[in-house]
Amino acid sequence: MIGTVLVVVAMRAEAQPIVDRLGLEPVDGVPAGLPFAWHAGSVGGLQVAVTTNGIDPRHGVDNIATQPAALNTYVSIDRWAPDLVLTAGTAGGWAARGADIGDVYLSGGDLVFHDRRIGIPAFDEYGHGRYPTVDAAGLAARLALKTGVVTTSNSLDDPEPDRSIMRAHGADVKEMEAAAVGWVTWLLGVPVMAVKAITDLVDHHTETAEQFQANLAMATDRLSDAVTAVLSDIDGRTVAELA
Ligand code: ADE
């Protein structure tokens, strides 16, 4: 049975509604020098820890993208020994693939990098990552959430070389952390699932950054609804029972 769930989140604005909804409390003990922040508590029969990637002191912004996500995931798995990791946050989607602003997707396939282009045999496949996620088809159906392929890069934009990799993988959701989290969960053998709320449509004429800022509060609210519903559904189940 799933006992402990670790929720890895990049931005404070993404994490705060989840922390508030679940009534989690700050927990000390992040290794010295690392910027991450932990909140934890009991949610039904689960122990839930939310970790955020912290702030860059030079720029005063959240440590988004892949290096903080990977390091945070390692340190937080080491501390919380979770039975399941959720990589939760906001993301871009495509109207042409059925996405609407505010939709929440669960991962429906491997976590893939879409900007690691290495044209050397074997390194090309290594670059794409393809880290497995748990089969959450049953969970998604019970909660009426969409499922889709989540792909990751270190950029908010979508230049052509990235687009063709996203197309090749059938990307439904584009964001900046999940595959980095997936690398660590794969290395350590911990089941992982992405929960991503859509702030922007990549195929809309409005700039991604403008859409993101306009829709962040609404999408993070939807994200906290979805994470709360996911936790309530998985309470009392095994990972295999999420399929
Ligand atoms: N986070 C939210 N929207 C995104 C997008 N379009 N690309 C990458 N990360 C995002």
> Best of 14, 61, 150, 176 to mutate for ligand 1, by most ligand atoms within 8 A of CB?
176
Ligand 1 atom nearest to CA at 202 = 6
Q: What is the pLDDT of residue 196?
A: 99
Instruction: Check residue 23 and report its DSSP letter.
Output: T
| Ligand 1 pocket, Cβ-based, cut-off 6 angstroms | 90-92, 156, 174-176, 199-200, 202, 208, 212
Catalytic residue among 14, 83, 135, 175: 14
Nearest CA to 7 out of 80, 115, 110, 62 is that of 80
Ligand 1 center–CA 135 separation, angstroms? 24
Mean pLDDT of the chain: 98
Q: What is the pLDDT of residue 213?
A: 98
Q: What is the pLDDT of residue 135?
A: 98
Tell me: the pLDDT tens digits for 164-178?
A: 999 999 999 999 999
Q: What is the pLDDT of residue 80?
A: 98
Q: Which amino acid is at 160?
A: E
Q: What is the pLDDT of residue 124?
A: 97
* pLDDT range class, residue 44, cuts 50, 70, 90: very high
Ligand 1 center–CA 130 separation, angstroms? 19
Residues 6+ apart with CB under 8 A from 218: 101, 102
State how far the Cα of 93 lies from the Cα of 103, in Å rounded to an integer. Answer: 9
Ligand 1 atom nearest to CA at 176 = 9
State how far the Cα of 115 lies from the Cα of 45, in Å rounded to an integer. Answer: 39
Tell me: the pLDDT tens digits for 76-135?
A: 999 999 999 999 999 999 999 999 999 999 999 999 999 999 999 999 999 999 999 999
